[in-house]
Amino acid sequence: MLSFNLYSNALKYNVNVRESRYKLAVYSALAIFIFLVMLVSFTFSYILAQALAAVSIIALSLFLSMSKKNRLTSSFILTNTGSIRFNNEEASYQLLAGSRLSFIGCWLVMRQNVPAVFLPKDLLETIPKQLFIFRDSINEQDYSRIASVIKQLE
């Protein structure tokens, strides 16, 4: 009788994640927006707020246009069945159908893989691990691989 391991037959992709410039830009834009709202609501200085907004937009666009080699922050192995193993962790995870893609990045929702024998009821009710990866943190090939795996899960 032949037996085979389905996990060993799955395609494996090594996905490298780098620091994102978009992350800093999103956080900076949010901080600038909050500052401008407070400035306008407390001082009613609309011209100053418009000038600061224009300077901030120019500065953020210049920052994003600079080409910079981002350093590698982490990597993980993704299979075409949705299994993920992070290099710095012993546990493996399974992508869930709640994972999403967008123009700015991908939102991965995953649950830790545990053998069915050891599966307590409390583990089924736990909050799944969530991870957002900005699109500029991974190359186009890795993004399309993640996209195809997420589409298979739906």
Half-sphere exposure of 153 (CA within 13 A, CB side): 22
Distance CA 106, CA 48 (A): 37
> pLDDT tens, 105-123?
899 999 888 765 555 666 5
Residue ranges per structural domain of the chain = 6-17+72-153, 21-65
Distance CA 31, CA 44 (A): 19
> pLDDT tens, 17-43?
888 878 877 888 888 888 888 888 888
Helix, strand or coil for residue 109?
strand
Paired tokens of 76: 């993980």
Q: Is pLDDT larger for residue 99 or for residue 88?
A: 99
What is the maximum span of the chain, computed from C-alpha positions, in angstroms?
Answer: 80
